[in-house]
Amino acid sequence: MEKTLPPIPVKRYFTIGEVGELCGVKPHVLRYWEQEFTQLRPMKRRGNRRYYQHHEVLMIRRIRDLLYDQGFTISGARNRLQELVQSERDRRKAADVPLEGLEAIEIDQEEFDAAVQDEMETPPPQAARTVDLSQLLHLRRELNEIRELLTTSH
């Protein structure tokens, strides 16, 4: 009984109501999950209003899938998420091999941030071209890891 979820729009913060609609979960359930899953830490502002970021929306979708579609208990889902995080750490460590013969590449963080912002603000040509923020964030992480590898190997 898998429900198709809407695409996540490109924006920085989402309210609890928006996240509920994007993830097919009621706001009171999201508040409960915050207590059960330490990975969920939405920013709280005036009047304790919650603002979720893109990676938290993805995490909530993963939690929803584990609980509702795969039939995990809260405890089982919590353990499964910890396993997934650990396997991702192990995968990254295994890929941490020294690079030889490459000169250090300087990445100007402000220039990168400006380019990402321009890409998100530029209207798409003709039909809908969606910029997937998760892909941009993943690319940024990879570039930072490459920079780190290059600077530590010299």
Residue 82 forms part of a structural domain? no
- For the entire predicted model, the pTM comes to 0.58
Residues 14-31 have a mean pLDDT of: 96
Residue 129 forms part of a structural domain? yes
Considering the domain architecture, whether residues 71 and 121 belong to the same structural domain is answered as: no
Considering the domain architecture, whether residues 130 and 95 belong to the same structural domain is answered as: yes
* Side-chain-side CA neighbours of residue 99 (13 Å): 14
Which pLDDT score, from 0 to 100, does residue 124 have? 52
Considering the domain architecture, whether residues 11 and 58 belong to the same structural domain is answered as: yes
Residues 60-83 have a mean pLDDT of: 94
Considering the domain architecture, whether residues 21 and 69 belong to the same structural domain is answered as: yes
Residue 83 forms part of a structural domain? no
Return the exposure string of 80-102: e unless at least 16 CB atoms fall within 10 Å of the residue's CB, then b.
ebeeeeeeeeeeeeeeeeeeeee
Check pLDDT > 70 for residue 128. Answer: no
Which pLDDT score, from 0 to 100, does residue 1 have? 44
Alpha-carbon distances, residue 71 vs 1, 14, 80, 121 (angstroms):
12, 27, 12, 40
Domain residues for the domain of 6 are 1-77
Average per-residue pLDDT for the chain: 80
Q: How many structural domains comprise the chain? A: 2
Q: How far apart are CA 78 and CA 72, in angstroms?
A: 9
Considering the domain architecture, whether residues 65 and 2 belong to the same structural domain is answered as: yes
Residue 61 forms part of a structural domain? yes
Considering the domain architecture, whether residues 3 and 72 belong to the same structural domain is answered as: yes
Give Cβ neighbours of residue 58 (< 8 Å, ≥ 6 apart): 8, 134
Sheet (strand 43-45) strand order: 14-15, 49-52, 43-45
Considering the domain architecture, whether residues 1 and 66 belong to the same structural domain is answered as: yes
Considering the domain architecture, whether residues 66 and 105 belong to the same structural domain is answered as: no
Residues 120-149 have a mean pLDDT of: 69
Considering the domain architecture, whether residues 49 and 116 belong to the same structural domain is answered as: no
Q: How far apart are CA 81 and CA 59, in angstroms?
A: 9
Residues 98-105 have a mean pLDDT of: 47
3-state secondary structure of 52: strand
